[in-house]
Amino acid sequence: MELIPRSEQMLLQRAAEGDQGSFAELFRAYKDKLYGILLKMTDSAELTEDIIQDVFLRLWRKREELATIDNFGGYVFRMAQYRR
């Protein structure tokens, strides 16, 4: 289990409670990292953007579960990998 910084845990908890600002911070923190990796995998900027949007939409829809995630980076990358 990878430990995540307290600030990220707090963002996950707040997002799980419906705080859109905290969720937006998580999005900003991971979108560029995801973009770089996915673009290499898909070779399509449009598909990459669609995957990222889909992943974060799914996360928002199941936001109550965000507080239970121990490794958000790994979780979000795995979700993106399965969406391509």
How much is the pLDDT for 1? 40
**pTM for this entry:** 0.86
Per residue in 33-58, pLDDT (tens digit) is 999 999 999 999 999 999 999 999 99
* 3-class DSSP state of 71: coil
From CA 25, how far away is CA 29, in angstroms rounded?
6
Let me know the angle formed at the C-alpha of 57 by 28 and 53, rounded to the nearest 5 degrees: 60
User: Nearest to residue 56, comparing CAs of 33, 84, 23?
Assistant: 23
How much is the pLDDT for 2? 45
Q: What percent of the chain has pLDDT over 70?
A: 92
